[in-house]
Amino acid sequence: MTTPAIPDHKSMRFALHEVLAGTLATIEADHFSDDHTRLAALIEELAGRFSMFAPMGAGVDPAALAAALELLEQRQFITHGDGQYVLSTDGRNKCVGSKRTLFNQHDREELEAAAESFSSLA
């Protein structure tokens, strides 16, 4: 899937950067890999397990994923350097606020379960 990280454009129920922020709200680690190909493969795998990620089951373009992460970086949810993304306390708080605002209870439960897999990329 080539979901662009344009805030007003949604080709699925939620934009890719929104789903990422919701997932990051719950990860245990404070950092994760910047390997966009590995991250895209993980998201595609999550699509088979969680309806929240199902629209991404056809494929996630690593470049679109990189753009979504760059948007989160611009919004100061995460920082990037030394081969990884870092989630500060302030960034996590922004992700938590986003998750509470955008997602219903079922969606939040799926994001929390997906975060366990996402944390494995630390």
Sign, CA dihedral 105-99-89-15, equals positive
Does 31 map to a domain? Answer: yes
Domain count for the chain, please give it. Answer: 1
The pLDDT assigned to 43 comes to: 92
Nearest CA-CA partner of 27 in 39, 36, 10: 39
The pLDDT assigned to 11 comes to: 36
- The whole domain housing 37 covers 16-119
| Distance in angstroms (rounded) separating the CA atoms of residues 69 and 111 | 17
The pLDDT assigned to 3 comes to: 43
Q: Give per-10-residue mean pLDDT for the chain (122 aa).
A: 40 82 92 92 92 86 94 97 93 95 94 86 66
The pLDDT assigned to 122 comes to: 62
Does 104 map to a domain? Answer: yes
The token pair that represents 83 in the structure block: 């081969």
What predicted TM-score, i.e. pTM, was given to this entire model? Answer: 0.84
* Residue 90, SS3 per DSSP: helix
The pLDDT assigned to 114 comes to: 92
**Paired strand residues for 81:** 84
Does 99 map to a domain? Answer: yes
